[in-house]
């Protein structure tokens, strides 16, 4: 079998088989080039025709050089075998280049030129070293040829891998041609001894495979038939024919910056992307990592020409898409994708039983590597997504991310304006609440003043009546004393009169006490009315942490601490515990005590605050200690009197009043412990609800 195969391959390396080999290869390449030349004048296939013409011309030039070398007299068999090995390798490289025509980045062409120069330099170096030594001396001719054939087989293997990946037009024919050429080079290695440095097996493989390259001209006929079809039916385009969308798309794009609200801008972008990418449905998603949610900010159905309602989804609703986006990869799924959480969520979102082919593209922002993304669906047309869509989104990615996730100057101003208006409205509401409380207080004071006047009038009337009755009784006593009656009867009447007098005096004393209490109450209300703001008569409870209460108060007194270089020592073991309490009144209590402690301290001094919870009693216990001048027992008693006196041990009576007023509303209690010249400690106990 080896002898018959060697005989067959040797026919192609000697006349007349040698001439037949060159004619078959040359005519095949000339025919393909001739069919490509007319395509240079057709607009729709001009680039394709030029690509094929350049490739075939290169192969033809290589073959002509090889034929000319075979006619040169005096070349050694090793030199001819090396030149033919070089020619066969270059044919593999450029044949592969012909079939892979769409290379906008010039990468494949650059690689081909580099490999051509590399193999040419290698063969030149081998020939020069052979000629300098005068013989093949340092080179084993068989090993050189075998190494060259192995290199050719390796190139074919790499070409097959790339062909399977890219799958260009007529890729099946390209694979068959490459396999036949690989078989020829493999036989050359096996029959190296029988062929005596003549590449007959390679020539046989080229004769059997290269003429099939002529099928590449089908690319011309397909493009021409498409062109004729459009020319014959200009008024009735087929359903698959793409409509010119440029005027409408430009209108949509121009409308994006004209939108007044951010939501309208999202809708305009979704509509423009849907039309620009010819997607049946386009959905824009925004990722919120704080709430662990996906927000569909806008969606547009190009076929039905309607917008899809907004929706907020948990990240668990789209696990496959989220994982792919977090890895900064694009997700493409065919219409066979009909299971899983992602499918259920998206079908419910678009209210349609099918998704078609899906294209999910991630988008970053200036602050986050993943801010959201775009999902394109084709449930109606089942259009597939090619590399052109990916290239489109790669080009517009920075601009699209800025438009979606970076507010413009006007939008930022609008957000700030909205926040300012909200704060103004809150202040207005607070002002109205204060005014209502003030009116209520004034009304209470008026009622109390009216009641006081009534008590005074009643007291005067009853006092006058008592005086009159006493005078009458005294007259009766005098009369009884003047009458000579039985002393026992007179004594009895005198005792009755004395008891009556004692009762009247007791009633008078009781009225005096009630009058004093009423006057003290009025004085207290007048004092509270003159302070900053009205008394809170009710509580507004919220769930807060002890840390947040102490942090807000510390922020308010930060400037005072810095101005006096006061060292604030905080003990807050239950800081993370959540409680239900009125935060404003609690903060007012703590602020009043701390403000007094700071003002009572010397510059560079220290103030301690201890805040803890009593789980047994459900009480919040606060202790504020300053190391100022302190208070004597008499000064401590005067502090809680109706008119407290000023003394050096107190920093601010006004602050203590405000704290006491808040403690009363909270139904709390306050104690004072102080030692003159050493310290002053206020201890407060407030009822709270501890949240488990």
Could you report the per-residue pLDDT of 28-50, keeping only the tens digit for each? 878 877 777 776 776 556 677 77
Q: Give 283's pLDDT tier (boundaries 50, 70, 90).
A: very high
- Beta-strand runs (E) in 200-345: 281-288, 293-301, 306-308, 311-314, 331-333
- Output the pLDDT for position 298: 92
Nearest to 22 by CA among 87, 79, 101: 87
Residue 217's SS3 state is helix
The verdict on 562 and 671 lying in the same domain is yes
Query: Is residue 567, in this structure, part of any structural domain at all?
Result: yes
Report how far apart, in Å, the C-alpha atoms of 391 and of each of 364, 388, 396, 472, 682 are: 17, 5, 9, 117, 71
Domain count of the chain? 4
| Domain edge (last residue) among 406, 439, 470 | 406
Query: What's the rounded mean pLDDT across residues 208-237?
Result: 52
Q: Give me Rg for the CA atoms of the chain.
A: 51
pLDDT band per the 50, 70, 90 thresholds, residue 231: very low
Contact 545, 575 (CB under 8 A): yes
Query: Does any domain span residue 229?
Result: no
In a domain, 658, yes or no: yes
Based on the fold, state whether residues 427 and 339 are members of the same structural domain: no
Residue pLDDT, tens place only, 7-25: 566 666 777 767 777 788 8
pLDDT in tens, 163-212: 888 777 778 888 888 888 888 778 777 776 544 556 777 777 777 777 77
Do 561 and 649 belong together in one domain? yes
Q: Do 521 and 583 belong together in one domain?
A: no
**Do 83 and 213 lie in a common domain?**
yes
Domain with residue 323: its CATH number is 3.30.450.40
More confident residue, 80 or 652: 652
Q: Please indicate, yes or no, if residue 31 is contained in any of the structural domains.
A: yes
Lowest mean per-residue pLDDT among 298-302, 520-524, 559-563: 520-524
Of the candidates 285, 328, 282, the one whose C-alpha atom is nearest the C-alpha of residue 305 is 282
* Domain-located, residue 512: yes
Structure tokens at 458: 């009643």
- Give the pLDDT of residue 588: 93
Q: Are 401 and 418 within one domain?
A: no
Q: Is the pLDDT of residue 251 over 90?
A: no
Does the structure show a pLDDT above 80 at 131?
no
Q: Is the pLDDT of residue 137 over 90?
A: no
Residue 236 domain-assigned? no
Q: 485 and 588 share a domain? A: no
Average of pLDDT values for 579-584? 91
Within-domain flag for 587 = yes
Kindly report whether the peptide bond that precedes residue 16 is cis, defined as omega within 30 degrees of 0: yes
Instruction: State mean pLDDT over 59-81.
Output: 78
Average pLDDT over all residues of the chain: 79
Query: What is the CATH classification number for the domain harbouring 47?
Result: 1.20.1070
Task: Indicate whether 229 pLDDT > 60.
Answer: no
Domain boundary (342, 377, 406) is at 406
Query: Angle, nearest 10°, between helix axes 171-190 and 141-166?
Result: 160
Mean pLDDT for 416-425 is: 81
Task: Please report, for residues 9, 40, 617, the alpha-carbon distance to residue 194 in angstroms, rounded to integers and kept in the order given.
Answer: 10, 47, 106
Q: What is the mean pLDDT of residues 275-285?
A: 89
CB-based contact 565:591 (threshold 8 Å): no
Whether the pLDDT of residue 316 is over 90: the answer is no
Whether the per-residue pLDDT at 254 is higher than 70: the answer is no
Q: What integer pLDDT is reported at residue 468 of this predicted model?
A: 79
More confidently predicted of 536 and 378: 378
Q: What is the pLDDT of residue 668?
A: 94
pLDDT digits (tens, 9 = 90+) for 208-217: 777 777 777 6
pLDDT, position 669? 93
Q: Decide which of 53 and 313 is more confident.
A: 313
Give the pLDDT score at 587: 92
Confidence at residue 389, expressed as pLDDT on a 0 to 100 scale: 86
Q: Where residue 417 falls among pLDDT bands split at 50, 70, 90?
A: confident
Show which of 406, 421, 447 is a domain's final residue. 406
Over residues 100-105, the mean pLDDT reads 55
Residues 354 and 395 in one domain: yes
Question: What's the CATH number where 598 sits?
Answer: 3.30.565.10
Task: Identify whether residues 488 and 502 lie together within a single domain.
Answer: yes
pLDDT at res. 362: 93
- Whether residue 260 is predicted with pLDDT greater than 80 in this model: the reply is no
pLDDT of residue 71: 78
Residues 365 and 384 in one domain: yes
CA distance 391 to 402: 18
Residue 281, helix vs strand vs coil? strand
Within a domain: residue 235? no
- 103-117, 171-185, 500-514, 524-538: least confidently modelled range: 524-538
**pLDDT recorded at residue 410:** 66
State pLDDT tens for residues 618-659. 899 999 999 988 988 888 887 776 555 667 778 888 899 899
Instruction: Indicate if 338 and 470 belong to the same structural domain.
Output: no
pLDDT, one tens digit per residue, over 546-556 is: 998 999 999 99
- Note down the domain range covering 389: 246-406
Mean pLDDT to the nearest integer, 245-267:
67
Helices 200-209/171-190 angle, 10° precision: 170
pLDDT over 90, % of the chain: 16
pLDDT score for 532: 39
The answer to whether residues 360 and 462 belong to one domain is: no
């Amino acid at each position: 079998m080896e002898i018959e195969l060697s005989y067959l391959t040797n026919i192609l390396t000697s006349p007349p088989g040698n001439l037949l080999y060159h004619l078959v290869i040359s005519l095949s390449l000339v025919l393909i080039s001739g069919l490509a030349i007319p395509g240079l004048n057709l607009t729709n296939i001009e680039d394709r025709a030029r690509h094929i013409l350049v490739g075939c011309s290169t192969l033809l030039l290589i073959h002509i050089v090889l034929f000319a070398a075979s006619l040169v007299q005096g070349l050694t068999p090793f030199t001819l075998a090396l030149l033919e090995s070089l020619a066969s390798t270059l044919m593999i490289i450029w044949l592969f280049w012909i079939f892979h025509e769409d290379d906008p980045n010039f990468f494949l062409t650059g690689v081909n030129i580099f490999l051509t120069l590399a193999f040419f330099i290698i063969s030149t170096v081998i020939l020069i070293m052979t000629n300098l030594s005068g013989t093949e001396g340092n080179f084993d001719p068989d090993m050189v040829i075998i190494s060259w054939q192995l290199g050719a087989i390796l190139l074919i293997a790499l070409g097959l891998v790339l062909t399977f990946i890219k799958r260009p037009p007529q890729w099946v024919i390209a694979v068959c041609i490459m396999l036949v050429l690989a078989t020829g080079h493999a036989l050359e290695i096996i029959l190296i001894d029988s062929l005596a440095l003549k590449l007959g097996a390679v020539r046989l493989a080229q004769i059997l495979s290269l003429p099939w390259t002529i099928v590449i001209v089908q690319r011309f006929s397909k493009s021409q038939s498409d062109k004729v079809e459009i020319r014959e039916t200009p008024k009735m385009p087929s359903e698959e024919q793409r409509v010119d969308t440029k005027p409408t798309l430009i209108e949509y794009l121009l409308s994006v910056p004209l939108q007044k609200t951010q939501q309208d801008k999202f809708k305009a972008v979704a509509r423009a992307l849907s039309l620009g990418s010819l997607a049946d449905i386009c959905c824009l998603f925004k990722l919120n990592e704080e709430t662990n949610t996906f927000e569909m900010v806008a969606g547009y159905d190009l076929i039905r020409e309607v917008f899809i309602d907004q929706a907020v989804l948990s990240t668990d609703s789209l696990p496959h898409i989220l994982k792919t986006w977090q890895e900064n990869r694009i997700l493409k799924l065919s219409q066979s994708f009909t299971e899983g959480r992602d499918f259920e969520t998206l079908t419910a979102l678009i209210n349609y039983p099918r998704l078609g082919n899906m294209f999910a593209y991630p988008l970053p922002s200036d602050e986050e590597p993943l801010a959201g993304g775009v999902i394109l669906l084709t449930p109606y047309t089942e259009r597939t997504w090619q590399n052109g869509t990916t290239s489109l989104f790669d080009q517009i990615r920075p601009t699209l991310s800025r438009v979606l996730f970076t507010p413009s100057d006007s939008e930022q101003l609008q957000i700030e304006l909205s926040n300012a208006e909200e704060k103004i409205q809150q202040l207005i509401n607070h002002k109205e609440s204060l005014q209502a409380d003030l009116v209520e207080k004034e009304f209470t004071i008026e009622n109390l003043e009216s009641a006081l006047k009534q008590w005074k009038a009643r007291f005067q009337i009853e006092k006058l009546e008592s005086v009159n009755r006493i005078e009458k009784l005294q007259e009766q006593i005098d009369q009884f004393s003047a009458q000579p009656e039985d002393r026992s009867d007179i004594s009895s009447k005198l005792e009755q009169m004395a008891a009556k007098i004692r009762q009247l005096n007791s009633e008078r004393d009781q009225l005096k006490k009630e009058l004093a209490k009423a006057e003290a109450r009025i004085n207290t209300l007048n004092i509270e009315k003159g302070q900053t703001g009205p008394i809170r008569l009710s509580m507004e409870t919220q769930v807060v942490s002890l840390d947040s209460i102490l942090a807000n108060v510390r922020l308010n007194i930060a400037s005072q601490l810095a101005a006096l270089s006061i060292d604030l020592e905080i003990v807050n073991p239950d800081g993370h515990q959540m409680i239900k309490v009125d935060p404003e009144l609690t903060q007012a209590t703590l602020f009043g005590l701390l403000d007094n402690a700071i003002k009572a301290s010397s510059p560079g001094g220290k103030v301690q605050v201890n805040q803890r919870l009593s789980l047994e009693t459900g009480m919040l216990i606060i202790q504020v200690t300053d190391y100022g001048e302190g208070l004597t027992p008499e000064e401590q008693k005067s502090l809680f009197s109706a008119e407290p006196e000023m003394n050096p041990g107190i920093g601010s009576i006004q602050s203590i009043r405000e704290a006491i007023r808040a403690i009363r509303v909270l139904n709390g209690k306050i104690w004072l412990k102080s030692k003159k010249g050493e310290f002053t400690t206020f201890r407060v106990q407030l009822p709270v609800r501890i949240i488990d």
